[in-house]
Amino acid sequence: MKTLDEVSEFHGHMCPGLAIGYRVAQMALKEMGPRAADEELVAIVENDSCAVDAVQVMTGCTFGKGNLIFRDYGKQVYTFIKRPSGDALRVSVEWVAPEETEEEKEAWARYMKGDRTGDTLSVVHKRKSRKIEAVLNAGEEELFKVTREKVELPPEARIFPSVRCGLCGEKVMEPRTREKDGKTVCIPCFEGGQ
């Protein structure tokens, strides 16, 4: 199993979202079996937060292999499906962050407005560290609501030929092309952006 340091190295920094994803992925691997070598484990993520980087590194589910599926719902929900059985584990993050002090709220507001002075950064980093520690030390029942289900398997990754756009000349996956003025074009050219 990948370590938290390896996950952090991939992501570029340590943060509460990454810690959440790390814990989600640990649970998924414990319940669903080993890290995916190919497409035998599928992850459906319902957000594009830092947590998804941890899910990728830990589980081996990636966009490139087609076994990481993004649904832009903005929810901290992660579903892991085992092929070929269709057995699934749905993990919804229930964790409540520790209450913030007034000093932390004020420092975060300054930080979000671009203040990167030493005093502001000191408070923001302590706040972040406290949240990370809370996530890493929490019990699974405090962090997650977990349901087991049987789901219809998403299709396996498909490989399509690339064709050249009739306007910009760049390669595009054939099923993503459109027809415009008698030419086969990419979506940006079709929409007038190129």
Compute mean pLDDT per 10 residues along the chain, 194 residues long, and list them: 95 97 97 88 97 97 94 97 94 95 95 95 95 97 95 85 95 95 94 74
What integer pLDDT is reported at residue 193 of this predicted model? 62
Topology given in CATH for the domain delimited by 160-194:
Wheat Germ Agglutinin (Isolectin 2); domain 1 (3.30.60)
What integer pLDDT is reported at residue 1 of this predicted model? 86
What integer pLDDT is reported at residue 101 of this predicted model? 93
> pTM of this prediction?
0.84
The closest alpha carbon to 23, from 63, 50, 62, 47, belongs to 50
**What is the rounded distance in angstroms from the CA atom of residue 26 to the CA atom of residue 55?**
9
Question: Which DSSP string corresponds to 25-89?
Answer: HHHHHHHH-SPPSSSSEEEEES--STHHHHHHHHH---TTTT-EEE------EEEEEETTT-EEE
| Three-class secondary structure of residue 9 per DSSP | helix
CB-hemisphere CA count at 13 Å for 193?
4
**What is the rounded distance in angstroms from the CA atom of residue 104 to the CA atom of residue 110?**
10
What integer pLDDT is reported at residue 194 of this predicted model? 53
What is the bridge-based pairing of β-strands 183-185 and 178-180? Answer: antiparallel
Annotated domain spans of the chain: 1-95+139-159, 101-137, 160-194
**What is the rounded distance in angstroms from the CA atom of residue 11 to the CA atom of residue 53?**
6
What integer pLDDT is reported at residue 135 of this predicted model? 97
Question: Which DSSP string corresponds to 96-152?
Answer: -PPPPPHHHHHHHHHHHTT---HHHHHHHHHHHHHHHHHHHHS-HHHHEEEEEEE-P
- Backbone dihedral angles phi then psi of residue 64, each to the nearest 5 degrees: -60, -35
Topology given in CATH for the domain delimited by 1-95+139-159:
60s Ribosomal Protein L30; Chain: A; (3.30.1330)
